[in-house]
Structure formats: C-alpha cells, structure tokens
Amino acid sequence: MTIPGARSTLLRKAGIRLCCTATAFILLAAGCNRSAPVNTVRIGLNLELTGDIPTVGTSGKNASQLFFQQLNDAGGVPFPDGPVPAEPILRDNAAKPNQAAEITQQLILRNEVVAIVGPNSSACAIPSGRIAEGLKTVLISPWSTDPRTTIDATAGVPKRYVFRGCMTDLFQARVLAGFALRDLGAKTAAVLYDDQADPAREQAALFRDAFTAGGGQITAFQSYEANDADLLPQLTAVREAAPDVIFLPAYYNEVPPIVRQARALGISSPFLGTDAWTSPDLARLGGADLDGSYFCKHFSSEASTDEVKRFVAAYESMFGQQPDDVAALTYDACSLLVGALHKAGRNNREALREALAQIRSFPGVTGSISFEPGSGDPIKSASILQIKDGALVWVTNAEP
C-alpha cells in the first residue's frame, strides 16, 4: 500500500481521500504520552536531527511530516471498523548510537508505539535494532545499508522485527550487473576496486558473480589501495581487456582521479558506480571524463512514475525544495508500516510484523518493494542515473 496524496489504492477503496494541501501537521515530541487518547496509532520516529548528520534527520522529519499529514487528513490508518488517527512521536538521537538505543527503548516501553521508523545511520540503527528485536517491536530503518542492521550477529540469522527500506551495499552490485547486461547490452566487464575497503571488495565479488551468472564475461578484475595515486598497472590491464563497461565501487571523491587516468590511457568504456557516487559535486569534479557513465542510487526526483511525480510535487509544495534519497525512503518506510497495519486489520505489534513480512510488489516512490520470507531486506529496484553533459540524468529504475 502507498499513501502519496490521492494515490492510495487501499484508502480509495475505503472511501478516504488524501489531500496534500491541508493545514500543517505538527509532529509530537513530548516526553511521555501516557495521557494521549488510546484511539490513536502511535508510531515512533528515531531520527538524527542534530549531531554529525542533521540534514539526514531533517529530510526524514520532513517526509514523515508530509506523510502523516496526508494520512490524518484522510482520517488515519484504515482499519476494518474505520480509520484511526496516527500519532507520530518524534525523538532526536543526535546521531549517537547509545542515545538512539535508549530512545528506541523509551518509545517502546514508555510511549507504547506499535513500530519505529529510524534510525537512518547504520551506527545508530544496529544497536537500536537489537533493542527492538529484544522487545519484539518492528523497527524499519529507511537508510541503513549495513547488512548487520537486519542480522542477529550472535545467531547469524535474520532478525524477526528489524527491516530496512533501502537496498543494501551488496544488493546494489546485483542491480548494476543486471542493468549492464539487460539495458546496456554489455557482454564483457572489468572490475576495479579498493581491496582495503570491505564494502568495495564485497561489491566487486558480487558484481563479478552476478555478471557471469547472467551470461557476461569478466575480462579484468583489478584491485588497488585507496592511497595509490598511480593506477597505471591496473588500468593498463583494463585497457588490454577492452571491456564494454567498468565497475568502480568507490566514493564520489575517489572516482574522478581514477577515471581521469583511465581516459588518459585511451579507455573509453563507461564506468558503473554505486550509491557511494551520489553527490552534487560528482559531475563537476569528474568533468567530461565521467560523461556517459552510470551509477545507482535509492531515489531520483526525476523519475517519471506517477508515484514519484505526486510525491515530489507535494514535498516541494510543503518545503520549497526537492526531496532527497532519505526523504523518499522515509516516506516509503512510513507507508509500508501503514500498509501493513491495514493488512493486519488491527493495531498490534505482532500482527503488524507478520503483515509487513508478507509485503510483495509494494509500489513505493523509491520503486517496487518486496520482502523475501525470513528477511527484513527488501528486494527492490534502484534508480539509475547517467552523467550527461555535466548533469545527472535519470535513466530508469533497474530491477535486480
């Protein structure tokens, strides 16, 4: 189920109409809400409003404010006996792991929320997830890509109550391999990665495996260390392999000098990157050398789907700016919870957990979302952007 303005199929069936232009809805941030009416659905928001990444928390707050305003303007969470207003309870974890974990406990035990959205950072989401798992309450992190967020480190199995709204670091490699094979028609690929960075090393291996499983051939598999200024040996091997595409899972500030060396050697193949490429400075730093290359991210406001158009229009109307990845992922996380509550038919933690785990082909603003049985990691599409004439242009939402 999705709740972007008037687009909610489930709410339309219930005779409810969402409005994006209603009076501003204020997120609650009181300490203890024991006196709050019992006929509300309490949902906690554990966000990074201050600290090292306040823009992340602000995006999450904005998106949740928009979502719950739309939802409550329509009457609230659609249950069989009629809609029930949602009561979002906002807390600031200051991007501190211990504080985030403490807030998670307070939201569950003191505020008696049915579920929690956030934290976003993996450093905060991992300890918060442990608390939520122990107290058997659903926690969905919109933005945490670390595999440990949803895995019980002791037992080595997926947590039952912890979900995420974004693709993982490793999942991106599968999406990009599929995009290269299907959309670009690539037959051969080279991989160039930092061997000292665990995510990059793991992504490189998974891209290799997924590309070859799809019928492609890896013609060069080269590693380097982040402090290597000269990649001549590795890039020479790539040039001799003459690949159709080159997979480079590096951070956006590391990409331009590597690509610049490649172009100087006469390598013209397009590069493929992960969401680590995401930065408004990427095209400026890379210049013409990066033209024609692609990377994936969680969301693009330029995507042409109706869900995205309506969400972007509503967000811009309320906040005067375009939504970023975190805003879109937070909006989808809230929508997933409400969709699962509707499916469960009651305001109950365990019923919500069971319904959420059964979500399939959920049409979110960040693409189609499904949860595989026994996993809180979504199977979903990714936005693919191309660097073209110095601009970032949305190409497609690629499926895994």
For the chain, what percent of residues have pLDDT higher than 90? 76
**Which two tokens mark 180?**
């290269």
For residues 303-329, give the mean pLDDT. 94
d(CA 62, CA 27): 10
Torsional sign, CA 292, 324, 106, 40: negative
Q: Which residue type is seen at 337? A: L
Q: Containing H/E element for 219?
A: strand 217-224
pLDDT above 60 for 18: no
User: Angle 122-134/97-109 helices, nearest 10 degrees?
Assistant: 30
pLDDT at residue 397 in the model: 85
pLDDT at residue 37 in the model: 44
d(CA 296, CA 305): 17
Burial bucket for residue 23 (CB in 10 Å: 0-12, 13-18, 19+)? exposed
pLDDT at residue 168 in the model: 85
DSSP string, 224-257: E-TT-S--HHHHHHHHHH--SEEE----TTTHHH
**Which two tokens mark 102?**
């403490």
For residues 20-46, give the mean pLDDT. 52
Task: Kindly indicate the confidence band of residue 23, based on its pLDDT and cuts at 50, 70 and 90.
Answer: very low
Task: Kindly indicate the confidence band of residue 281, based on its pLDDT and cuts at 50, 70 and 90.
Answer: confident
For residues 166-184, give the mean pLDDT. 91
Instruction: Domains for the chain: give ranges and CATH numbers.
Output: 5-166+303-380 (3.40.50.2300), 169-297 (3.40.50.2300)
Nearest to 271 by CA among 307, 301, 234, 245: 245
Helix (H, G, I), strand (E, B) or coil at 194: strand
pLDDT above 90 for 304: no
Q: Containing H/E element for 100?
A: helix 97-109
d(CA 4, CA 365): 8
pLDDT above 80 for 374: yes
Apex CA 184: angle with CA 183 and CA 189, to 5°?
125
Q: Are strands 151-152 and 157-158 parallel, antiparallel or unpaired?
A: antiparallel
Cis bond upstream, residue 4 (ω within 30) = no
Burial bucket for residue 30 (CB in 10 Å: 0-12, 13-18, 19+)? exposed
Number of H helices and number of E strands within the chain?
A: 12, 19
Greatest alpha-carbon span in the chain: 71
113 to each of 32, 78, 136, 248, 268, how far by Cα in Å?
11, 17, 12, 42, 54
Cβ atoms of 4 and 66 closer than 8 Å: no
Q: Are strands 82-84 and 77-79 parallel, antiparallel or unpaired?
A: antiparallel
Cβ atoms of 154 and 344 closer than 8 Å: no
For the chain, what percent of residues have pLDDT higher than 70? 90
For residues 175-198, give the mean pLDDT. 95
pLDDT above 60 for 399: yes
Task: Kindly indicate the confidence band of residue 101, based on its pLDDT and cuts at 50, 70 and 90.
Answer: very high
Residue that wins the pLDDT comparison between 278 and 65? 65
Give the DSSP letter of residue 24: P
Give the DSSP letter of residue 154: T
Torsional sign, CA 302, 307, 309, 313: negative
Apex CA 28: angle with CA 23 and CA 30, to 5°?
150
First to last CA, the chain: 21
Among 110-124, 194-208, 336-350, whose mean pLDDT is lowest?
194-208
Count of Cβ atoms closer than 10 Å to residue 134 Cβ? 13
